[in-house]
Amino acid sequence: MDGLIKGLVDIALGVVGDRRDGDDESRDERSRATWAEVAAGEQDNGDRADRHRPNRSRREEDSQIRNDEWEAPNSRPSRPSHMAGHEGYERSEVVEQHDYNQNNWNRREEEKNKNDGWETVGKRPQRRPHKVQMDHWQGYKRPPSEQEYCNEVEVGTNLKPSEEELADLSQACNRLWELDLNRLVPGKDYQIDVGEGKKVYQKEDMAEGSLFSWLNEDIFRRPTFSRFCSLLDNYNPDVGHKEVISSEERQEQTAFIEEISRTAPIKYLHKYLSLKGIISENYQDFKSMLATVWFDLHNRGGTSGSSSAFEHVFVGEIKQRDEQEVCGFHNWLQFYLEEAKGRVDYQGFILPRRHGEIPDSESQLLTIQFEWNGVLKSVSSTLIGVSPEFEIALYTLCFFTGREDNHIQLGSYPVNIKCYRFGDRIGSVFPIAVS
């Protein structure tokens, strides 16, 4: 009997021991599983969030997905980064840089790198930078006598303004649109994803990725495009910073004016202004006037020599007083390049007033919201895919022959070219979609 009782006790103790051993093993497995979940966090953020938040309400889950861009069933796919296949934005040669604090501009990227690649739960995914090939741009700093330019467009009756165009600024601007032979074609030369619309005051990011899905990099080999882009790094974006233009940068400006002066829009502009008696018929004087209007430095933000029409309109500036704010920055090429460098965060288009058309991937006039180096541009408008020579011609024409508000037609787009003067210089000029 004693033996039977002892046997039963041993069996019972064995079962308990097995259970304890199993519990220990189960805890080990759970521990390893938890670590695996952490290590694979970037690959399975959504599942991990659900496991750690079993009691979240449906409303909280929807808000989390919307704020953190985690994938959800039936959600639209994330947009591909533009310029796929490139691995960073850089020049092939060392370029002279201005002395502003680069660490300040790249502080967010540095903070990211300090985490050794670990993502914080709930942090929006970073847009990856991409490289744009521009090996030959450095040569544009050589003296104009050493430059090679494209052939001049033939001057014919087709470039002479009609009487109707001379009497109607809108018709003249639309003629410039037709003469823009370098304008890109949506879907063929580039692709954009406008995301979703928002009101100006809304803070939510309505774009899951970049504005530009891709751009044919061959366009950077076009003379006026590449010369324009080579000018963009010549400026300090701080409004209060006095600009210092080197002799090489001055040569870049001269070469750019010479290049665009060989195109149809600029030749039309010259004929228009000379027939109006605003400038002389001497083409060299005309080119000097363009350089003066766009590149001469003036006072902005209380500092003399701190800005120019070109810097403000095409490059963009940062106001440092009170709350930081982006001003200017209305050029699509600058937007594309800064987006490629990871400095621009596109946040969606601004909904049109009343019954205006909702933009899509074919639209070439956009009103958008974005952040540049972490500073908000709450509303900005830009013409997408147009050539640099077209924008210079359009804005110069409105500056000399128009008013502050210039309601014109560009192809199918009704536009108001807003033009602010700074004495005899351009203070600011940009398009506004008319809805």
* Catalytically active residues, by annotation: 312, 330, 377
Q: Are 82 and 340 in contact (CB under 8 A)?
A: yes
Query: Could you give the CA distance from residue 402 to residue 419 in angstroms, rounded to a whole number?
Result: 8
Q: Are 432 and 415 in contact (CB under 8 A)?
A: yes
Q: Are 313 and 395 in contact (CB under 8 A)?
A: yes
Q: Are 131 and 87 in contact (CB under 8 A)?
A: yes
Cα–Cα separations (whole angstroms), residue 408 to 53, 178, 398: 55, 14, 10
Residue 178 CB partners (closer than 8 Å, separation 6+): none
Q: Give the sheet arrangement for strand 405-410, strand by strand.
A: 405-410, 413-422, 425-433
| Residue 293 structure tokens | 């209007």
Query: Could you give the CA distance from residue 269 to residue 417 in angstroms, rounded to a whole number?
Result: 16
Query: Could you give the CA distance from residue 301 to residue 32 in angstroms, rounded to a whole number?
Result: 59
Query: Could you give the CA distance from residue 216 to residue 161 in angstroms, rounded to a whole number?
Result: 33
Residue 131 CB partners (closer than 8 Å, separation 6+): 83, 86, 87, 88, 89, 90, 340
- 369 SS3 class: strand
Pairing of strands 197-198, 344-350: parallel
Separation of first and last alpha carbons in the chain: 100
Of 229, 260, 253, the closest CA to residue 144 belongs to: 253
